[in-house]
């Protein structure tokens, strides 16, 4: 096999791998850009509320949750959670899990 073909394929694979990482970090594959949280649409978890911060943006809730060692995630209504038990389908509410 020609070494130029092998080199070309290697460069292509490296480029695609880098694009995958870059795309993930920038939210192209479903996550918030640069976020350590996974979005779970139309889902909430009953109980286990740490605090309620209504009207905050997702980015602000991420920072708040990051600052609390017991926080495992939050919903778009501003409830920061200590556990993900008692899952319920909740149309229009998204849960962000660490």
Same domain for 12 and 46, yes or no, is no
Instruction: Determine the pLDDT at residue 1.
Output: 59
Based on the fold, state whether residues 63 and 82 are members of the same structural domain.
Answer: yes
Both 3 and 49 in a single domain?
Answer: no
Predicted confidence at residue 35, as pLDDT, reads 82
Residues 26, 40: one domain?
no
| Cα-Cα-Cα-Cα dihedral sign, residues 68, 65, 52, 84 | negative
- Structure confidence at residue 26 (pLDDT): 45
Range of the domain at 93: 36-98
pLDDT at 62: 97
Q: Are residues 41 and 26 in the same domain?
A: no
Write down the pLDDT at residue 32.
47
Residue 49 sits in the same domain as residue 24? no
Residues 50 and 89 in one domain: yes
Average pLDDT of adjacent 10-residue blocks, the chain of 98 residues: 54 46 44 77 97 97 97 98 96 97
Q: How many domains does the chain have?
A: 2
Same domain, 54 and 98: yes
Residues 6+ positions from 35 with CB-CB distance below 8 Å: 27, 62, 96
The answer on 43 and 17 residing in a single domain is: no
pTM of this prediction exceeds 0.85: no
């Amino acid at each position: 096999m020609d070494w130029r073909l092998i080199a070309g394929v290697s460069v292509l694979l490296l480029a695609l791998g880098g694009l995958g990482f870059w795309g993930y970090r920038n939210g192209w594959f479903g996550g918030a850009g640069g976020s350590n949280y996974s979005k779970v649409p139309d889902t909430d978890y009953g109980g286990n509320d740490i605090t309620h911060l209504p009207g905050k943006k997702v980015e602000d809730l991420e920072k708040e949750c990051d600052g609390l060692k017991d926080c495992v995630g939050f919903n778009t209504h501003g409830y920061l959670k200590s556990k993900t038990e008692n899952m319920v389908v909740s149309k229009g509410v998204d849960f962000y899990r660490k």
